[in-house]
Structure 1
Amino acid sequence: MALTSTPTPRGVPSDNAPPPAVYDGTSPFPIGDSRTPRGGGERLYVTVTAVIVVLPFVALGLAGWLLWGRLIHPADVVLAGVLYIVTGLGVTVGFHRGLTHGGYRAVRPVRVALAVAGSMSFQGDVIGWVATHRRHHAFTDRPGDPHSPYRYGTHLRGQLRGLFHAHVGWLFRSEATPAERFAPDLLADRDMRAVSRAFPALCFLTLALPFGLGWAIGGSWVYGVTALLWAGLVRIALLHHVTWSVNSLCHLIGDRPFRTRRHDRATNLWPLALLSFGESWHNMHHADPTSARHGVDRGQIDPSAATIRLLERLGWVSEVHWPTAERVTARRL
């Protein structure tokens, strides 16, 4: 049967239409923007990414089946909670506010420990993560942004495609972010290079720990398997989707009380605040990226900022970029 194309409604840009010379904030991004082929390892990269993305989904299905049969133990819940907090803060406090934006200066053991904890979140090696996020800030919601939900335009079809792209689709695109350009400081850091090389081993560790602890606590391999499922795979899946939701939902829905750069549509989305450790106060973050606190208004819970405050009082971090009333007021709309 012959395929026919549906005419694009007047005023709605076609996904295949040539982009304007200057981005206007509504058109699809230029095709192939920022595409940097990964070379001969592209197939391996896509395969590994698929495993990382799909395996936790499989775990969720298996978890539902097991929960139906009541095969869950108190130790599974405790281990899942502890590892979620440790790895989540490794991403938010370590990868994001510390290494990416320089919101504070940490002593070497804490800096390395946070990088290790973040790597155990299964979200990529530390140098690649930082480089990608810095690129996101350099090109927020315009051509060059690796995970903008506006890649395909602002009409309904484009927004739906863009939402999927920003949430998970961008992980499968052949776009390598050059660390030489976006993270030269980490490439020059011997400790960060070592943590980056150890990423596969740390992925194994983040699954082996709940299995081993579950077996040790319960005294049976069955306890090890259920801990691996709940405190390993399900915990990773939840943290993945919370992080990806900051990329996607926190650029589409929510409040924008602070001024950001042109085309930057970062929002504050309060329902994600606790699970994201304060990262979903995303509008404030994009208004003042180096700020160690993202939730600056009354009632805005920010566990990552509280953790940084604790580390500061212990003398383990210094030169913290806390927001001042003047800076917050200057950025408010």
Structure 2
Amino acid sequence: MAKPLLAARRPAGQAALVYGFTLLPMLALVAAVPLAWGWGLSWLDVGLAVGFYFLSGLGVTAGFHRLFTHRSFKARRGLRSGLAVAGSLAMQGDVITWVADHRRHHAFTDKAGDPHSPWLYGTTPAALAKGFFHSHLGWLFARDCTNAERFAPDLLADADVARISRLFPLWTVISLLAPALIGGFATLSWWGALTAFFWAGLVRVAVLHHVTWSINSICHMIGDRPWDAPGRATNVWPLAILSMGESWHNLHHADPTCARHGIGRGQVDMTARLIRVFEQLGWAHSVRWPTPRRIARLTARD
């Protein structure tokens, strides 16, 4: 008998944490503009924000997404654990829940069962506006949980990953307080700790949240579709740098296990570059690169 699509409903306390992890960084982002107007932002804050942005972001793209969800490459134990922790610093949920949701998305792309498709309500302007909000943000507040036993049994059975997943609250605290500690010690001031907490903690998390959510929303609504792929996934080039290559989303849905998403000329894919470095260092192997034979199996759209 097939295992159910959904698990038990999310407890009220856990639902409250989702609201907190989502809305507090957003409020910090709203406050960022006036705070940056002439005070409250230093080059140290900028450096910490950029550093933690790409550390946590690449943990999601190379770790949560290409390694754990799609098995685009294999990694040594230390790298697997490191990527799981780095992705957890993005505060997008624990690794097993993230992977289960994303595998469900691929199983039901832009159809009933997809947790965050923008096309579930119709094609009228009002329906698309509702769909955009749902795919970008609204789906996070649903009380129903994807059944990890159905969609991520391999990770539930992985002792290292399961342990890191259970420790998600700890990684959340570290993600917010580590920049503050560095800022405070570097400046020997509470003000330096506070501004680092704000910019490299809250604002950094909010920006990364919205870039990631844009792959769910914008990259299923507008953009180029050079490859025949399930659903309506598109390429949106302006997001390529901030998403670390994830916005070459059309190719990804055409060939989900490929380690590189941007295969065309000028399609910058920072995550694929990082995986190449891991491979050259001997930390990763069995990488599924887009070889000519692999690309030939894909169907180009007219």
| TM-score when normalising by structure 2 | 0.96
* Distance (Å, rounded) in 2 between the aligned partners of 1:283 and 1:116: 28
Shift of 1:330: 3.0
Specify the alignment match of 2:247 in structure 1. Answer: 280
Q: Would you say 1:38 and 2:5 are equivalent positions? A: no
Greater mean deviation of Cα atoms: 148-157 or 220-229: 148-157
Conserved 8 A contact 1:34-1:175:
no
Q: Deviations over 1:171-226 (max 9, x none)?
A: 01122100000000000000011100110000000011000000011110000000
Specify the alignment match of 2:100 in structure 1. Answer: 131
Shift of 1:324: 1.2
2:171 is aligned, of 192, 199, 202, to 202
Specify the alignment match of 2:149 in structure 1. Answer: 180
Pairing of 1:80-99 with structure 2 (within 5 A): 80-99=49-68
Specify the alignment match of 1:252 in structure 2. Answer: 221
Pairing of 1:220-235 with structure 2 (within 5 A): 220-235=189-204
Shift of 1:274: 0.4
Q: Give unmatched runs, 5+ long, in structure 2.
A: none
Shift of 1:327: 2.3
Conserved 8 A contact 1:273-1:302:
yes
* Distance (Å, rounded) in 2 between the aligned partners of 1:159 and 1:83: 34
Shift of 1:61: 2.8
* Distance (Å, rounded) in 1 between the aligned partners of 2:247 and 2:222: 11
Specify the alignment match of 1:3 in structure 2. Answer: none
Q: Deviations over 1:34-54 (max 9, x none)?
A: 665516x1x223211111111
Specify the alignment match of 2:18 in structure 1. Answer: 49
* Distance (Å, rounded) in 2 between the aligned partners of 1:234 and 1:101: 29
* Distance (Å, rounded) in 1 between the aligned partners of 2:193 and 2:76: 35
* Distance (Å, rounded) in 1 between the aligned partners of 2:198 and 2:297: 47
Conserved 8 A contact 2:5-2:147:
no
Pairing of 1:233-248 with structure 2 (within 5 A): 233-248=202-217
* Distance (Å, rounded) in 1 between the aligned partners of 2:184 and 2:8: 43
* Distance (Å, rounded) in 2 between the aligned partners of 1:166 and 1:141: 10
Structure 2 counterpart of 1:83, one-letter code: F
Structure 2 counterpart of 1:198, one-letter code: L
Which one has the largest radius of gyration? 1
Segments of 4+ moved more than 6 angstroms:
none
Q: Provide the alpha-carbon RMSD of the alignment.
A: 1.3
Aligned residues: 297
* Distance (Å, rounded) in 2 between the aligned partners of 1:212 and 1:168: 30
Q: Deviations over 1:253-310 (max 9, x none)?
A: 000000113xx10000000000000000000000000000000000000000000000
Kindly tell me: are residues 107 and 34 of structure 1, through their superposed partners in 2, closer, same or farther at Cα, counting changes over 3 Å? closer
Structure 2 counterpart of 1:162, one-letter code: G
2:136 is aligned, of 167, 178, 182, to 167
Shift of 1:156: 1.7
2:116 is aligned, of 147, 172, 177, to 147
